[in-house]
A and B are shown apart, each in its own frame.
Chain A
Amino acid sequence: DQQVKQNSPSLSVQEGRISILNCDYTNSMFDYFLWYKKYPAEGPTFLISISSIKDKNEDGRFTVFLNKSAKHLSLHIVPSQPGDSAVYFCAATGNQFYFGTGTSLTVIP
């Protein structure tokens, strides 16, 4: 049972434009939500998180939005850069970490 879902396996965006990665979850008891980035042959690295009591968290070019009523979060990357090309996993925490299946982002120069 996939409690965290990323319905878009891949996304292509032109350099300089906005990348929007989406994630849906089913459990309203999750208290933290996170995004991780993974390059090939490397482990995932933490990118940004948001507490369930907030609806937005910003860190430089990265902003995460949380819509609790819709059980939906999104990651915005503005402006997108070729180095952002990677697989992005969203995750939620309860008694363990629940990860989505990942979205492969390609930023085209």
Chain B
Amino acid sequence: KAGVTQTPRYLIKTRGQQVTLSCSPISGHRSVSWYQQTPGQGLQFLFEYFSETQRNKGNFPGRFSGRQFSNSRSEMNVSTLELGDSALYLCASSLDFGRETGELFFGEGSRLTVL
């Protein structure tokens, strides 16, 4: 079956702009979570959505937001971009949040560069 699809794969923005990233989970998966990966920081949890509801949120400023649609597709938005927002943004899906099995299925990521 098709994996997790993230679009766009690469994008370049300038400071102050906003960006929207999209994630299509594996069919049947209702949980979508987002992560920011930067060198030396590993994967930082942004938020998790399940059935269109945000269930958990990481320690990121309010400029980072997300939503989930009825078909489980998810978007994340970053407003007023800063240079430090340059990162690989990863989306992961699972049947539930995967706490018991621990298994998340990741997309290939969206590489954001802020100039």
**A residues at B contact (CB < 8 Å):** 2, 4, 6, 31-34, 36, 41-46, 49, 89, 91, 93, 95-102
Residue B101 at the chain A interface, CB threshold 8 Å: yes
Instruction: Tell me the total A-B contact number using a CB cutoff of 8 A.
Output: 64
Interface of B is mostly: loop
Nearest CB in chain A: distance from B25 CB, A: 12
With a CB–CB cut-off of 8 A, which chain A residues contact B66? Answer: none
With a CB–CB cut-off of 8 A, which chain A residues contact B35? Answer: 99
With a CB–CB cut-off of 8 A, which chain B residues contact A100? Answer: 42
**B residues at A contact (CB < 8 Å):** 4, 33, 35, 40-45, 48, 56, 58, 90, 92, 97-109
Q: Is the CB of B90 within 8 A of A44?
A: yes
Q: Is the CB of B103 within 8 A of A46?
A: yes
> Which residue of B41, B45, B101, B107 contacts A43 across the interface (Cβ within 8 Å)?
B107
- Nearest B residue (CB) for A44: B106
> Which residue of A49, A98, A99 contacts B103 across the interface (Cβ within 8 Å)?
A49
Residue among A4, A41, A91, A96 with the most chain B CB within 10 A?
A96
Q: Is the CB of B42 within 8 A of A89?
A: yes
**A95-B56, A96-B56, A99-B35 known; A45 vs B42 contact (CB < 8 Å):** no
